[in-house]
């Protein structure tokens, strides 16, 4: 049976300001937390410096220079057939320190220009308000989201951009992969509790108490912003964004089943249960008790959370994992969970490729929440080789794309209300986890390398044309 997608389905790509824009200190922008990260690799963690050292290379400072090349890049997206582009606003481009009295007009004007360019091609923007970055001043002064004061700063920032772009943006997401805040490594980007820290990113640690208190502050901030949008801008649709890491029990041992239930709740359900249902889930109290977590909840917090539920659920999906209470080989990769799955292949960076898992995830999420869904990140980082004639033959990426689109089509046929699909990194960008350029996701090649060299020239890969065919047919062709 042919795969069919609903009429008006959104096809596109997803990016983050800190990974593509560059121009880190231009036109009044303040330093973001990401601007203090050096490059790393799959084996070497990124280093964090409190002060910017002009003699060292910070890959996010230049990104892929989208700030100056956005017209060229958007034209390429339009050529592929995009009708949606997910991007984020750099908080420090609007409020350089995060707690400034007035916004930076030059920053606001930049996004006006980007949204106008998208509109020229009929491309709908999907805007993430906080995508793994915050003004570094908020890190140093408040220790990021550990401080309740960030709620007010975030509200002010959101109200500013809502007012400015109310006629240009309809779809908004509050926090990118908010559930990564449950993990120790999520501290680096998602909650940014690295006040005073310097050294390898892997050496930065937080307590469970800190992580879940910071998440509570984010839940309140997100809910207040969602409620404000609903009250003042009824045309807006507000979404959450989770990193969905599907896990399977390693065996039919009931111990594995229980361990997997606990992992799915911790990683995949805890945050979205709050943001979609508007309350902490029933299993939270025991989890807090057993992990020594005592949330500081102020009067009105739970009412705010209840009043600020999202309109649609979005998520990233890259891989699946295995939860096993027995002695098994562990999967590789900086985001991989648990044991290696012998039935799956992996990417060059050790992420297990599981398109059927995407269908399973879509069904599980929709069964649980019954609101529209969107896959806003999916893709694979790979080593690309430029042929002597300048072409890039990336059949491995095409295979990955096709298999995941087929899985989404099956989920739609299963009855899932799926709104759209935005491939992660439709153009090569700086990897968040490793800071590398050689870990390439794009359908468009960018001539920039891990040492900062390159012309920044854009090239279409074979996958560019493969995705173009899929989009043109609304997913009914190009999957063979």
DSSP 374-403: EEEE----B---B-TTS-B--HHHHHHHHH
Residue closest to 187 by CA, chosen among 158, 152, 218: 218
Q: What angle do CA 124, 174, 169 make, to 5 degrees?
A: 25
User: Which CA distances in Å does 315 have to 170, 242, 246, 274, 403?
Assistant: 18, 5, 12, 15, 18
Residue 294: active-site member: no
Residue closest to 436 by CA, chosen among 89, 40, 64: 40
Specify the pairing of strand 444-446 against strand 458-460: antiparallel
pLDDT for 265 equals 98
Beta-ladder partners of 427: 444
Q: How far, in Å, CA of 445 to CA of 186, rounded? A: 28
Q: Which residue has the tokens 């006629």?
A: 167
User: Which CA distances in Å does 232 have to 86, 166, 309, 470, 475?
Assistant: 23, 10, 15, 37, 36
Q: How far, in Å, CA of 32 to CA of 434, rounded? A: 17
Buried b (16+ CB within 10 A) or exposed e, 408-422: bbbbbeeebbbbbbb
Q: Which residue has the tokens 């308000």?
A: 129
CA–chain centroid gap for 8, Å, is 23
The low-confidence residues of the chain, meaning pLDDT below 50, are: 334-336
Q: What angle do CA 203, 207, 211 make, to 5 degrees?
A: 105
Q: For 60-104, what is each residue's pLDDT tens digit? A: 999 999 999 999 999 999 999 999 999 999 999 999 999 999 999
Instruction: Enter the tokens of residue 391.
Output: 């072409």
Q: How far, in Å, CA of 322 to CA of 30, rounded? A: 41
Instruction: Enter the tokens of residue 117.
Output: 């360019």
Asked if residue 132 lies in contact with residue 16, where contact means CB atoms within 8 angstroms, the answer is yes
Instruction: Enter the tokens of residue 368.
Output: 């649980």
341 φ, ψ to 5°?
-100, 115
Q: Spot the catalytic one: 133, 177, 263, 436.
A: 177
> How deeply is 326 buried, as exposed, middle or buried, from its count of CB atoms within 10 A (0-12, 13-18, 19+)?
exposed
Q: Which residue has the tokens 């994992």?
A: 321
Q: How far, in Å, CA of 452 to CA of 27, rounded? A: 22
Query: Can you state the angle between helices 462-472 and 395-414, rounded to 10 degrees?
Result: 20
Instruction: Enter the tokens of residue 375.
Output: 């896959």
Q: For 298-327, what is each residue's pLDDT tens digit? A: 999 999 999 999 999 999 999 999 999 987
Q: Which residue has the tokens 């949330």?
A: 295
pLDDT for 165 equals 98
pLDDT for 444 equals 98
Query: Cα Rg for the chain, rounded, in angstroms?
Result: 21
Q: Spot the catalytic one: 21, 133, 377, 410.
A: 377
Q: How far, in Å, CA of 318 to CA of 300, rounded? A: 37
| H/E element, 93 | helix 91-94
pLDDT for 237 equals 98
| H/E element, 204 | none
pLDDT for 336 equals 47
Asked if residue 428 lies in contact with residue 445, where contact means CB atoms within 8 angstroms, the answer is yes
pLDDT for 329 equals 65
First to last CA, the chain: 13
Residue 177: active-site member: yes
Q: How far, in Å, CA of 100 to CA of 102, rounded? A: 6
Q: For 368-420, what is each residue's pLDDT tens digit? A: 999 999 999 999 999 999 999 999 999 999 999 999 999 999 999 999 999 99
Buried b (16+ CB within 10 A) or exposed e, 75-105: ebbbebbbbbbbbbbbbbbbbbbbbbeebbe
């Amino acid at each position: 049976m042919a795969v069919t997608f609903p009429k008006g389905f959104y096809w596109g790509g997803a990016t983050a300001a800190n990974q593509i824009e560059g121009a880190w200190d231009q036109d009044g922008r303040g330093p973001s937390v990401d601007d203090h990260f050096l490059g790393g690799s799959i084996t070497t963690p990124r280093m964090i410096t409190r002060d910017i050292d002009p003699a060292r290379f910070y890959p996010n400072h230049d990104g892929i220079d989208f700030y100056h090349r956005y017209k060229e890049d958007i034209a390429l997206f339009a050529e592929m057939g995009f009708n949606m582009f997910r991007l984020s606003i750099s908080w420090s481009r609007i409020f350089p320190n995060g707690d400034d009295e007035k916004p930076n007009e030059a920053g606001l004007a930049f996004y006006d220009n980007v949204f106008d360019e998208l509109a020229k091609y009929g491309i709908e923007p999907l805007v993430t308000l906080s995508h793994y970055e915050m003004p570094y001043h908020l890190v140093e002064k408040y220790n990021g989201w550990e401080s309740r004061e960030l709620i007010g700063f975030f509200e002010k920032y959101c109200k500013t951009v809502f007012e400015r772009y109310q006629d240009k943006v309809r779809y908004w997401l509050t926090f990118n992969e908010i559930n990564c805040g449950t993990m120790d490594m999520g501290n680096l980007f998602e909650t940014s509790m690295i006040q005073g820290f310097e050294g390898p990113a892997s050496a930065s640690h937080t307590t469970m108490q800190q992580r879940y208190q910071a998440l509570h502050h984010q839940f309140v901030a997100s809910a207040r912003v969602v409620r404000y949008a609903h009250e003042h801008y009824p045309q807006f649709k507000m979404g959450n964004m989770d990193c969905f890491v599907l896990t399977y029990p390693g065996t039919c041992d009931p111990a594995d089943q229980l361990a997997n239930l606990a992992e799915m709740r911790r990683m995949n359900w805890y945050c979205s249960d709050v943001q979609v249902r508007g309350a902490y889930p029933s299993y939270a109290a025991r989890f807090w008790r057993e992990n020594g977590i005592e949330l500081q909840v102020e009067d009105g917090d739970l009412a705010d959370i209840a009043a600020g539920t999202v309109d649609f659920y979005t998520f990233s999906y890259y891989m699946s994992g295995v939860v096993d209470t027995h002695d098994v080989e562990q999967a590789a990769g900086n985001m991989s969970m648990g044991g290696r799955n012998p039935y799956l292949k992996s990417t060059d960076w050790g992420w297990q490729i599981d398109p059927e898992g995407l269908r399973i995830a879509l069904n599980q999420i929709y069964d649980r929440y019954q609101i529209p869904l969107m896959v806003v990140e999916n893709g694979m980082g790979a080593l690309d080789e430029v042929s002597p004639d300048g072409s890039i033959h990336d059949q491995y990426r095409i295979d990955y794309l096709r298999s995941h689109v087929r899985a989404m089509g099956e989920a739609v046929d299963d009855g899932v209300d799926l709104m759209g699909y935005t491939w992660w990194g439709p153009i090569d960008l700086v990897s968040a986890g490793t800071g590398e350029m050689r870990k390439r996701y794009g359908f468009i090649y960018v001539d920039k390398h891990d040492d900062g060299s390159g012309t920044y020239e854009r090239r279409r890969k074979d996958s560019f044309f493969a995705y173009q065919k899929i989009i043109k047919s609304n997913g009914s062709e190009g999957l063979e």
